[in-house]
Amino acid sequence: GENVEQHPSTLSVQEGDSAVIKCTYSDSASNYFPWYKQELGKGPQLIIDIRSNVGEKKDQRIAVTLNKTAKHFSLHITETQPEDSAVYFCAAENSGYALNFGKGTSLLVTP
């Protein structure tokens, strides 16, 4: 399938700081880019998504930006809290039927 590269693989920030996770994709036909948060022992949970007709979307402390020309998109978490600690996955639409996922970023927010 098409590749989705995600960086960094681990990220440690102090409470209150911002966290940024970046992804690149290869399929120029992709038009849908969701982000998932996975807590230990649970399934991934959709936290925000963006479609190719917009460049940025925000939901409280979480925002996602998309640059279709460069084929990259990013997740921004502001004012991080310990409960934001989790593994985050980006994904890109694959031919209209499925998603290709990045390998995940383990975020640790220290008090």
Partner 1 sequence: DAGITQSPRHKVTETGTPVTLRCHQTENHRYMYWYRQDPGHGLRLIHYSYGVKDTDKGEVSDGYSVSRSKTEDFLLTLESATSSQTSVYFCAISLAGGNNEQFFGPGTRLTVL
User: How many CA atoms lie within 13 Å of 90's alpha carbon, on the beta-carbon side?
Assistant: 29
Kindly give, in sequence order, each residue whose CB lies less than 8 Å from that of residue 1, ignoring residues fewer than 6 positions away: 94, 100
Nearest approach in angstroms of CB 93 to partner 1 is 5
Q: Is 45 in the site for partner 1 (CB under 8 A)?
A: yes
Kindly report the number of other CB atoms within 10 A of residue 17's CB atom. Answer: 13
Site string for partner 1, 15-34 (x = CB under 8 A): ----------------xx-x
Q: Does 46 contact partner 1 by CB under 8 A? A: yes
Q: Rounded to the nearest 5°, which phi and psi values hold at 82? A: -55, -35
Question: Mask 81-110, x = binds partner 1 (CB under 8 A)?
Answer: --------x---xxxxxxxxxxxx------
Q: Is 54 in the site for partner 1 (CB under 8 A)?
A: no
